[in-house]
Amino acid sequence: MSVEGLPVSSDPQTVSFRLWVSGCLSYFDKITDGFYNILGMNPYLWVMCNNMEEGSRLPSLVVLKGTEHSDTSMEVVLIDQCGDAKLKELEDKAQEIFFAAENTLVLAEKLGKLVAVHMGGSFPMERGDLYQRWEILSNRLKDIHSCIVLPIGNLSAGLCRHRAVLFKKLADYVGLPCRIARGCKYCVEDHRSSCLIKIVDDRKNAREFVVDLVGEPGNVHGPDSSINATDLCSVLSPFQVAHPKEFQLPNMEEKENLPMHDIVLMDKPKCFWCSPNQFSEIKSPEKLTTTAGVITRDEYDEPRDQSKIVLFQNSTQEIVQPRPPPFAGGHPSISKYVESEVTLENLKHSEATLPKYLNLEPSLAMDWLEISWDELHIKERVGAGSFGTVHRAEWNGSDVAVKVLSVQDFEDDQLREFLREVAIMKRIRHPNVVLFMGAVTKRPHLSIVTEYLPRGSLYRLIHRPANGEMMDQRRRLRMALDVAKGINYLHCLSPPVVHWDLKSPNLLVDKNRTVKVCDFGLSRFKPNTFISSKSVAGTPEWMAPEFLRGEPSNEKSDVYSFGVILWELITLEQPWSGLCPAQVVGAVAFQNRRLSMPENISPTMASLIEACWDDDPAKRPPFGSIVETLKKQLKSPLNLIQMGGNTKEAAEVFPYFDSDGREVKVPSC
């Protein structure tokens, strides 16, 4: 329970209600899918205009969406995880910032700039250009949606309340402790809002800073007099809990340990405040919990005894303790606080809040992608790779593939890297990329869970005896196009995802013979280096020469690997079959040798493969160009495709799976 007596909640209705009534949210209130904030309707008028039963809650989204948008100045900002694509983009960017940030202050600064850039930039005051831009945009969006309910991602101009809501949403998404307080030095409206963050130093002390979102976006500073408690304390909410005892400090018995002269009783409205010189220093959530009503006040505005600081106050009394000595020179500088070695480790490895995996990658659980090992019914082993073993398993009634990493004793930084890869995988959706379904993030079962593809790998399909004859030329060309489309999608992401280990064993075939890319990004978890003769057989055969030499490489390494896969589909042979892995490394990386080209191949395909194998990575074609070349080739007459290999077009049986996964026999196409 928070200090204000309202229960801590991530329920969108409860949190929406709390911000609407008080204008504040605590560190423990989470903005989640379905949250909405109403501007332009006074909650007290809502009570007066409705009976007590209706007035005990905020207006529903259904009611608000039915409000005629042309007849009201009201606006409702909605958090819509499914329908707001721009919000999802912002979450992805916030996640990238989270992993790249050096410390918590840098994280807060960059998140603040991200929010401000999305919502129109910086302005000296809210009244003026910013307000006019917001008003024009708001009216235009209402006309477009024919509704006063607007997705927050659509707001390219936003007031301080909009910016505060978006900042807290992104902060909650990456696990940065953040609350919304009432007050903003750039705004004089009733909706004025600011965001404060909590940072734990190396002594486990928590302190607060304000993140500027309007005038100097990203600037982090101590709370000032623009954020004060008068607004909250002057009017009691008609929605507050009726029983005063619910507002009492959880550990009231601790006051007995305080000297009597340090306890002061006053008959004041309940509020909580502290000196900006202390940056709202908080020892622990159990003893002193920040909340929607936690507001700071400038020491020069205080009518109280300057030697004391209010810790807690219910409806009839306050508990006050002596104020610690002020910092020399006034407010402590941010630079000095950075020198205390406050890093993201305090946030990511906090023992008092979430499990470690959630601190490292908080969005996993929020997106329902954290899978418990106990939920998986492991069945037979279906494969092995350099990263570990693959098992077929049943999860919630569906067949899945579980890839258990061979390395389980990760250090925290390695675990973070693993979770970073998982974070990349969870936002990837493409018909030619294996669907990521979740991850097991607890040792000793660190695993990736993906869709299960019954046909197995393209490697097995090509090199299994007799099956190669049953894949006609167009089928093989379509498979090559599938691979190119999947990798092109990965390379076009922002930031690009490079596979690094593209080979036919890492390409899976579904029941409809569509090829899908898998295991992208997992090559960094290999127990052996790629040039080791003890590494998994077959890996060096597909790798680019610069990669084998240990030189800097980029997405063009994937282009080289694709050239080998294309050669494999054309010849139906295993690359470098007469050499051991160590000999392949020597031949490709240091002797500049390439696989021999078959005679019965079209000039177009031969030129494409040779271009993919160019020794200069910069001269290799991008996958977008490869996709177009393969599409044109597919439209060519059969006699011009000339894929090579044994092209016997007999009506041999080819295994096919129906919708229930049962194998049926049909002639090859």
How far is C-alpha 435 from the geometric centre of its chain's CA atoms?
Answer: 17
Kindly state the average pLDDT of the residues 625-653. 66
Q: Give burial (CB, 10 Å; 0-12/13-18/19+) of 450.
A: buried
E strand spans, 239-387: 308-313, 318-322, 376-385
Confidence band for 644, pLDDT divided at 50, 70 and 90: low
pLDDT at 108 over 50: yes
Buried b / exposed e across 431-447, counting CB within 10 Å, b at 16+?
Answer: ebbbbbbbbbbeeebbb
Sequence length of the chain is: 669
d(C-alpha 72, C-alpha 60), whole Å: 17
Catalytic annotation present for 501 = yes
Please identify which residue in the block is written with the tokens 């196409």.
Answer: 669
Tens digits of per-residue pLDDT, 125-143?
A: 878 888 888 788 888 888 8
Confidence of residue 23 (pLDDT cuts 50, 70, 90): confident
Digit-coded pLDDT (tens) for 243-302: 333 333 333 333 334 333 333 333 333 333 333 333 333 333 333 333 333 333 333 333
Pick out the residues of the known binding site.
403
Tell me the residue type at 542: W
Taking 90 as the threshold, does the pLDDT of residue 645 lie above it? no
Domains of the chain (ranges; CATH) run 12-322 (no CATH), 356-451 (3.30.200.20), 458-657 (1.10.510.10)
306 vs 292: CA distance, rounded Å:
25
DSSP classification of residue 294: B
Lowest mean pLDDT segment, chosen from 116-120, 289-293, 385-389, 445-449:
289-293
Q: DSSP assignment, residue 505?
A: G
The confidence band for 389, taking pLDDT boundaries of 50, 70 and 90, is: confident
Which letter does DSSP use for residue 493 in this model? Answer: S
Task: Give the H or E element holding residue 524.
Answer: none
The residue with tokens 């590494």 is 535
What average pLDDT score do residues 165-186 get?
A: 90
Q: Name the catalytic one among 92, 501, 519, 558.
A: 501
Using an 8 Å Cβ cutoff, are 306 and 298 in contact?
Answer: no
In the prediction, which pLDDT does 147 show? Answer: 87
Mean pLDDT of 7-26: 81
Task: Write the pLDDT tens digit of every residue in 187-241.
Answer: 877 778 899 998 877 777 778 889 999 888 988 888 776 775 433 333 333 333 3
- Give the H or E element holding residue 150: strand 149-151
What SS3 state is found at 393? strand
d(CA 392, CA 374): 15
- Which residue ranges are tagged as binding site for ATP? 403
The angle formed by the CA atoms of residues 71, 72 and 73, to the nearest 5 degrees, is 140
Q: Is 198:346 a contact under the CB 8 Å cutoff? A: no
Q: Give the residue, 310 or 487, on which the prediction is more confident.
A: 487
pLDDT of the residue at 307: 38
Per-residue confidence (pLDDT) for residue 83, from 0 to 100:
86
Tens digits of residue pLDDT in 553-562: 889 999 999 9
Amino acid at the residue 515: V
CB-based burial label for 339 (10 Å; 0-12, 13-18, 19+): exposed
Instruction: Return the pLDDT at 360.
Output: 41
CB atoms within 10 A of CB 251: 12
Q: Which residues contact 241 (CB under 8 A, 6 or more apart)?
A: 5, 6, 247
The mean pLDDT value of the chain amounts to 71
Q: pLDDT exceeding 70 applies to what percent of the chain?
A: 63
Indicate whether 166 pLDDT > 90: yes
Q: Is pLDDT of 474 > 80? A: yes
Strands in 409-471 per DSSP E: 436-440, 447-451
Confidence of residue 477 (pLDDT cuts 50, 70, 90): very high
pLDDT of residue 317: 38
Residue pair 540/588 in contact (Cβ under 8 Å)? The answer is yes
The distance of Cα 32 from the centroid of its chain, to the nearest Å, equals 14
pLDDT of the residue at 376 = 92
The angle at the Cα of 343, spanning 339 to 349, to the nearest 5 degrees, equals 145
Q: Rounded to the nearest 10 degrees, what angle do helices 603-612 and 623-634 cross at?
A: 170
b/e 298-308 (16+ beta carbons within 10 angstroms → b): bbeebebeeeb
Least confident of 315-329, 408-422, 579-593: 315-329
